[in-house]
A = this chain, B = another copy of it.
Amino acid sequence: MNYALILQDKISQNLEVIGIIGLGYVGLPLAVGFAKAGLQVIGFDKSTDKVNKINQGDNYIKDIRDAVLREVVDSIKLTATADFTRIKECDALLICVPTPLDKFRKPEMSYIESACKTIGQHMKAGTFISLESTTYPTTTEELMLPIIEKTSGLKSEVDFWLAYSPERVDPGNVTFHTKNTPKVLGAISKEGLEIGEKIYSKAIDKLHLVSSTKVAEMVKILENTYRLVNISLINELALLSGKMGIDIWEVIEAAKTKPFGFQAFYPGIGIGGHCIPLDPFYLEHIAKKYDFDLSMIHAAGHINMRMPNYMTNKITSALNSHKKSIMGSKILFLGVAYKPNIDDERESPALKIMGEVAKKGGVVTYHDPYIPGIKTENRTFQSVILNKEALNEADYIVITTNHENFDIDFITGNSKLIVDLRNVTKEKSEKIYKL
C-alpha cells in the first residue's frame, strides 16, 4: 500500500487528523492553531487536570485568548484526552513534550523516549511524526527513529515519516505568536519534508525548509545559545561596571544608538525559563561525543551560575550600609516569574535568591500578580497582597522581575529601602540600590 498517496489525499481534502502530544505552552497554541484552520485535532496529555480543563473550554495558557479556545472546543474541532491509544486515530503527530536537564545538567530525554514508545505502540501506518521540543542535533534520526521503528515494527520513510520542527514560542510576546512566527522544518526524507510542509502550512504562515533534521535541530540551539551567550556577556560586564562605578544601563542605552551591528541585551539576576538556561547544554552534551569543548557555552554557564549568589551579596551589602543584616530583616520580593508579564516561574533565578536569603535568616515574603504560590528548594511561599501595609512592614523591597503592571511610584513611595535588580526605578535616590 502506498501510504504516502493516502496521506497526501487526506491532506488535500483537509481530512487529516492532527495529534498533539503534550498540551503545555507549546502544544496547546499549536493545537488551537490547527483546529482554527479547520482540522480535527486531538490533544494528548498525561495530566487529566489539563485534559478536563481543555474539554470544558477552560484556558490555562496566557498567550491563548479564552474565547478562541472555547470556540474550537465547542465546535468539537479540538478534543483533549489522556487516552494515548487514540494515537491510532491520528494522521500526523506533533510532539511537544518537555526536554529538561537533570540535576547534573545532562539532557533528560525520558519524555521524548517515552513519547516515541507510546507512539510506536499505538500509531497506524502512514503517519507523519514531528518533534517540536528543543534537543541536541541527531536526536530525531539517531534516538527517535530506532525507538519508533522498534516499537511499531514499521519502517521509517516508508510506513511513517519523521521530521523535526522546533517551536519558537516566546511567552508574553504580543507581536509574534505560533501562527505568524516563521517555522523551520527538516525531515529525514524528501517525501517527509513535502508532507510536513503541506500539513504545517495550514496552521503556520511561513515555513523555512532545511535539508535535514540535524540542521533544524542545530538552528534552535543556535538561536538560544546566542541569547544565553549575550545575556551572560552583559551580566559579566554589569558586574565589572558595578565595580568600576559605571552605570551599565546607561552604557546599553548609548550603545543602542549604533544603527548597525549591535543588539541590546540587559543584565539580570540570572537566566530563567525553560529554554535559554537549558538548550545550550544540550549542545554541550552532544559535543562531548565529538571530543569537542564548547568554551563559549561553558563560560556563559559559569557566569550565570554565579549570578544569584552575586545578587544575594548585593542585598547583603545594601542592608549592611544601613547597619542591617539579612538575619531577622523582613524582605519582600517583587516578581518571581523568570521574565516580565508571564506566569511561569520555572528555573527562575528569583527563587534561588529567595531561598538563599531565607537560609541566611531573612523573613522572606513575595508578591507576583501572576504566580499565586511557589516552591523553593526547601520551602513553599504564597504571594502576599501588594498594599501600603505590606510595603511599610518590609525592611527591604527587592525587585526581582519587572512586570509592567507594577506601580513603581506606589512601591517607591511606600518602601523604606529598595534593591532594584531590574532598573525599573529610573530615579536615583539614597534608598534605592541598583545592580
Contacts and interface: CB of A to CB of B under 8 A. Distances in A.
B255 A222 contact: yes
A327 interface: no
Given A292-B239, A295-B303, A299-B299, A260 B214 contact: no
A289 B18 CA distance: 61
A262 interface: yes
A263 interface: yes
Given A250-B215, A254-B208, A292-B239, A233 B227 contact: no
A302 interface: yes
A206 B420 CA distance: 31
A15 interface: no
B236 A230 contact: no
A229 interface: yes
Contacts of A239: 292
Total identical chains: 2
B170 A250 contact: no
A30 to B, nearest CB: 17
Given A246-B214, A290-B240, A222 B299 contact: no
Interface in A213-242: 214-216, 218-219, 222-223, 225-227, 229-230, 232-234, 236-237, 239-241
A308 B173 CA distance: 41
A168 interface: yes
A316 interface: no
A175 interface: yes
Given A138-B244, A173-B260, 20 more contacts: A168-B258, A170-B261, A184-B257, A210-B254, A212-B246, A214-B245, A215-B247, A215-B250, A218-B241, A218-B246, A222-B234, A222-B251, A225-B237, A227-B261, A232-B296, A237-B283, A240-B294, A244-B286, A296-B299, A296-B303
